[in-house]
Amino acid sequence: MVKFLMAGAAASALFASPVMAQDSYAETDRAPFSGVYVGGSFGYDVQGNDAGSRMLFDRNLDGRFGDTVTTSAGGNAFSPGFCNGAARSTLSPQNAATGCNNDKDGIAYYGRVGLDHQAGNIVYGVVGEFGKTEINDSVSAFSTTPAWYTLTRSVDWEASVRGRAGYAANNTLFYGTFGGGYARINRSFTTSNTANAFALSGDRNQFGFLGGGGIEQKIGRNVSIGMEYMYHQYRDDDTRVRVTQGTALATNPFVLAPNTAGTDIRRSDDKFRWHSLRATAAFRF
């Protein structure tokens, strides 16, 4: 009986300790979200549906896209069509409906540093972030040659500076965030056409914006964890592929007279955008 009472007293003490510690923490930390913090995030990025994405052509190099590339017989050289994905070289290059892989979603990982100020229940501050996402986005075209052509873009790195504002209910913060981004976008071009010559150009570094929100929970005086949604958008309208004759015949559609200097190609979707859902963690000083 004595042992049972002693065990009960010990259990009560163990239970009471974190409660007393929490009470003490709440009494002494009136603004739990004020101050400088460092942390990171890890999550998964998903791209929106870019159905209808295609390649556009500037056949006479006048800077205006939307021309039709025609064969020597006058037909549309790209009548097999386009798809919003990467062409599968192992399938028939004339099958635009089934000859493409889907765009790749992927993980993302970022580091961050921020400064918040809490006044009552209102929290506002600024956060800077740097990291990388593993997504890539492709568009493909299919010609009557037959041949396939694929433009792909991915993110080498992304940096952002955002404002943050929210409402703190005790040790839980609900917030929104918005700001500017700067990213290095990698571009690549591949094709099964080995006759023409192709030159890829365009500025890899692009400005954009990010916006979203989340929830952050303090789990100790200096540590917090949370969940966050973020939308990313970057303008990507200056990528060009210049197609010249190479070893192709003079009747090749890209250099067919009277416009023999070549043809420029660009994507129809000139915005690179994606969604992030990620877990966050931070250490507050």
Q: What is the pLDDT of residues 29-69, one digit of tens each?
A: 689 999 999 999 999 999 987 778 899 999 999 999 999 99
Radius of gyration of the chain (CA): 28
Tokens representing 221 are: 């005086």
- In order of 64, 227, 230, the CA distances from 212 in angstroms are 36, 11, 4
What is the per-residue pLDDT across 205-261, written as a single tens digit (0 to 9) for each?
A: 999 999 999 999 999 999 999 999 999 999 988 899 999 999 999 999 999 999 999
Asked if 109 contacts 136 with a C-beta cutoff of 8 angstroms, the reply is: no
H/E stretch holding 5 = helix 2-28
pLDDT at 29: 62
CA–CA dist 156, 99 (Å, integer): 27
What is the per-residue pLDDT across 262-275, written as a single tens digit (0 to 9) for each?
A: 999 999 998 999 99
